[in-house]
Structure 1
């Protein structure tokens, strides 16, 4: 008969296993709610082109998403915004995806999704290994960054997705921390009027939010690299604990810049507000703002870009929150201090960051 000590030890191990499972499940949950920001990246020789999606409203009837993408031409970069409203009933059971925008599009396409599989499609892939799909897209996306804004040519390709073997997780920065999200992979050949396309998707394995984390059509591949959402703990509090601790350092999550630019996008305002609140609560604190980059573009280019981004954060805090300039310094460290590999989209996304450092020594 097992001793009381052995029984207690076994119960402790079981409790720890349950706790670990609960923590893992919590980390893998991405809430589909207002304030959710999803950043997708496409790898290009000049750097990773990032596109943002923001959930601006979510109620019992529908979810409204604002998609922001940038188109570069010889005169500069133009920012485009489009809104798409998706019904909850379609998130539950639709088998149609409409992934491109065209002039004159309505904000709502009843029966179609934008950046999710439906819960029913996810369940069918897991149960049967296959599910029907209708995909509204261009016949040839090519390698351009502006395919989401299609002048013409959208067609609806039909076929069957089949579940694929392979990695069961994808690492994504979730509120600034690398998290291995569980995925269901599927792919197949879709066709319309004799034209065929080869597609692959990786969907978050969560029936409440089967977000598409990877989408591939032919040679064009987009991958979610960052997901941010308002948490139960305000970021000012998270920053305060990190900066007051022994490390005196914390990443300022939720900052967004156009590719290769130091212009702070409007989505960055909550992060700037959190830093301002922290500085106002601690008038004796002085912070160094450090900019960091990936390794695409060369050392000199990245050093200058990282410094401009750090300076943009400092200037915003001075101008908007009236923080004394003497309390803030800005420096760029370029590609010299990576926190992840630069060989992957998600690794490069982790390396593109701004950190706050308290002068505590």
Structure 2
């Protein structure tokens, strides 16, 4: 089987015939039209995909490049694409340095998030806390979890059902902006709220 490193949305099918297995990979754009990159590695080579609707067939360990179009993908795989779950809606709120205090702009987003959750059937929210790299990693892990919990409490105060919200702290591990240790970066002091 081929090895695939995912850079964005991918349609990956394994087609079994009588004697051979074929992997068929197509790189799809995200909702905003952007694509990442995808490396497909097989026994006899590697092909990098970086254009929307570019693809690879892997037969007998040999990758070959193919091209398609939105229409071709829709015609061939429309039913499969329609079965995908809805993509999560992501909101980002920011905090004052070293605290769980929301910035004024972030407080104004809470009613929007609450209203969005109310429109979703069987809604759930995942609240993921993050920090910059001012403190050490152990302190940042605790702070990120406190921020996620503070985000959860803000959602509950805004009228979201508590049992539909889960929290995770990621510390400084997933920055928006990469910095050296000790650098205060406001864009990294955030909570991501994923609604689905």
Question: TM-score normalized by structure 1?
Answer: 0.28
**If you compute each CA radius of gyration, which structure gives the higher value, 1 or 2?**
1
Report which of the two has the higher share of strand.
Answer: 1
Question: TM-score normalized by structure 2?
Answer: 0.49
